[in-house]
Amino acid sequence: MVFFYRAELRLKGFLWYHTLARATESFYTHSVVPVVHNYGLTLALAGYDADPAFGYVSIYGRKGYRSLLELFREHGVYAYPAIAKRAYTQEVIMSAIGESTVQAKGKGRLSYPDFTKNVVLAPGSILETLIVSEGELPSRFAVRIGAKRAGTLWVELTRVPVDIANNRKVTHPFNVNDVVRVDGYTVLLRHEAGDVGIFGVAEEAYVVPVRDSKTKEVVVPALKLE
């Protein structure tokens, strides 16, 4: 039996997410919305800081990730990407070593570094997502995301009914690798474990009623389980 939960994640530590920003007169040229990829979140819900079969990807220099649907079949839990309901952020500027660290401009060959803007979600931030589980989960518990830049989250779950509908507009972020076909979506965050998308029309969707919000329902593409 599959259970669906709306999850509210309250941040008790600092949580990092990243985007590359190139140095210009205004300094930044790009930023991302506070969205948390579901790879680390799904592993955290399964009780792991890192994939127990392969270890922490960046520490060991690996370029590949296991499919999240494979992790779901193995551990029985899956989280959609989380998005900030309330975000408190801090910024840390670092040189992006090994990532086009020098550019040339003009005849004088003026060189300057590329910078990585590390945006840190700070304590007090609240994230929301939808969780799918093959077993019942406790209503409250704590998880830690990641082994290197960890964020401790206090999780509160509400079990919800779900309707399955066809050709519905998507309202919550999703991992494009894990779901059925979605037409016209926008990529929020690129990642080797699957890009995070938003909006678009899903050929099959989970529809979750919401009573405590201005939004009447949350719609996410159905998982590609077959």
Which of 28, 17, 24 has the alpha carbon at shortest distance from 145?
17
Residue 137 per-residue DSSP state: -
Rounded CA separation 46/127 (Å): 18
Side-by-side strand order, sheet with 217-221? 163-165, 205-209, 217-221
pLDDT at site 90: 81
> What are 130-187's pLDDT values in tens digits?
999 999 999 999 988 866 556 789 999 999 999 999 999 999 999 999 999 999 999 9
* 80 and 121 Cβ atoms separated by less than 8 Å: no
Cα 128 → chain centroid = 11
Rounded CA separation 30/118 (Å): 12
Phi-psi region for residue 193, left (φ > 0), alpha (ψ -120 to 50) or beta? alpha
pLDDT at site 226: 72
Q: For residue 43, give the H/E element and its range.
A: helix 38-45
SS3 207: strand
pLDDT at site 28: 52
Per-residue pLDDT of the chain (226 residues; tens, 9 = 90+): 799 999 999 998 888 766 655 555 555 555 667 888 898 889 888 887 766 666 555 555 555 677 888 888 888 999 999 998 898 888 777 665 554 444 455 555 555 566 666 778 888 999 999 999 999 999 999 988 866 556 789 999 999 999 999 999 999 999 999 999 999 999 988 888 889 999 999 999 999 988 766 668 999 999 998 7
Rounded CA separation 178/107 (Å): 48
Rounded CA separation 13/151 (Å): 5
Rounded CA separation 201/151 (Å): 32
State in Å, rounded, how far the first CA of the chain is from the last one.
16
pLDDT at site 100: 45
Q: In sequence order, what are the residues at sequence separation of 6 or more whose Cβ sits closer than 8 angstroms to the Cβ of residue 83?
A: 33, 34, 35, 36, 127, 128, 129, 172, 173
